[in-house]
Amino acid sequence: MNAYLNALGIVCSLGAGKAAVAKALFTGARHGICKREGWIPGHAPPLGAVEVPLPPIPQALAGTRDNRNNRLLLAAAQEIETDIRAAIAHYGHARIGVVLGTSTTGIEEATNGIAAYRRDGTWPPDYRYAHQELGAPAAFLAQWLALGGPSYSISTACTSGARALLSAQRLLKLGLCDAVLCGGVDTLCRLAINGFHALEAVDMQPCDPFSRHRRGINIGEAAALFLMTRERGPVQLLGGGASSDAYHMSSPDPQGTGAQTAMRNALRNAGLDASQIDYVNLHGTATEHNDSMESQAVASLFGRPVPCSSTKSLTGHTLAAAGALEAAFCWLSLIDDRAKRRLPPHIWDEQADPALPALAFVRVGDHLPTGGRRYLMSNSFAFGGNNSSLILGDPA
């Protein structure tokens, strides 16, 4: 079954909208990662915060749906609102679904509300428990657009956004929807930032994926929203794969067995061979164990220097949004000027870890080969050995 990614709305620390994000992405601009006070006591970690003004929640929903996560999602949705409204007119409200990956939802607002309750003994007037429910972003989008198709969120940690695209593809294949709004959204929150800090996984300097000096992640926030249909569009979701190695609660299988399984499943699902992949967007968190595992998995599977990069040094790790955001970067490469078709560069200190297999990291200005269809892979790996891989390409 053919699934096409017909439209993309995107907001992250690189900017708002496809044009701004692509400009920063392909030039390797690291302006989105800045040190910020107030998130970890006694520290100022670099964070990939969205600094552009976000749109207000529509008045009819402002009393029940107003939080930063939904405003970030709305900003992405508004970029493709014309496409969404056209799909509604074509298919009808009841035939359009919503599947989103998320993990933070409105937990920052909930944290502030709980702090106020502990201090004052009463809940603040704007506290809404529903903000922190994992289904809240999907429910907001469906309610705003009056959609009647399946609507739900997926929360599998850092694979959530990627799995949302796989679930959307399944809804189309099963005939339950004619179009699906799918992607991921997560916002900065103290719970997640301090949780990773407690795991000693946060770098207090801009992160360096796959470097011998890597010390951990920078955390970011983002929303990436696709309109997926069966009708031919600019980019095709050729397939995807998933696995769960359940090696450890927070550490990946050191040999990358589960990661390889997810990539092999994606290739099989897409009907492709590893030799046909032109680029891999790595999960590349800049943590010791993830980068070691992933470099081994990629080197073993491809057996050749396939161009690859981690974009988390540009955006931070956007948690549940990461899989959708990095698929969006592949989308931007495929729709880039055909004379260029630039690839996202790997921005780091260029001090390779000699203990890791050597990978062919993309430099600023590198681009896809010309001629023929091009196929790009995007990897996402998560706590609990939860792995996923997507393959995007030129439409047939």
C-alpha pair distances (Å), 348 with each of 191, 200, 307 = 27, 20, 15
| DSSP H or E segment with residue 333 | helix 322-335
* Phi and psi torsions of 289, nearest 5°: -75, -40
Are 152 and 138 within 8 A, CB to CB?
A: yes
Q: For residue 9, give Cα distances in angstroms to 16, 136, 328.
A: 9, 19, 9
104-124 as b/e: b if 16+ CB within 10 A: bbbbbbbebbeebeeeeeeee
Distance CA 224, CA 182 (A): 8
Amino acid type, 115: A
Question: Using the 8-state DSSP alphabet, how is residue 391 labeled?
Answer: E
For the range 198-203, what are the long-range contacts, defined as Cβ-Cβ under 8 Å and sequence gap of 24 or more? 199/250, 201/287, 202/40, 202/45, 203/45, 203/46, 203/286
CA nearest to 315, candidates 5, 16, 9: 16
Query: Distance between CA 310 and CA 286 in Å, rounded?
Result: 9
H and E: helices and strands count for the chain: 12, 15
Alpha-carbon gap, residue 40 to 193, rounded angstroms: 7
Residues whose CB falls within 8 Å of the CB of residue 112, separated by 6 or more in sequence, listed in order? 124
Write out the catalytic residue numbers: 158, 283, 317
Query: What is the CB neighbour count within 10 angstroms for residue 230?
Result: 17
The torsion angle over the Cα atoms of residues 345, 347, 352 and 355, rounded to 10 degrees, is -80
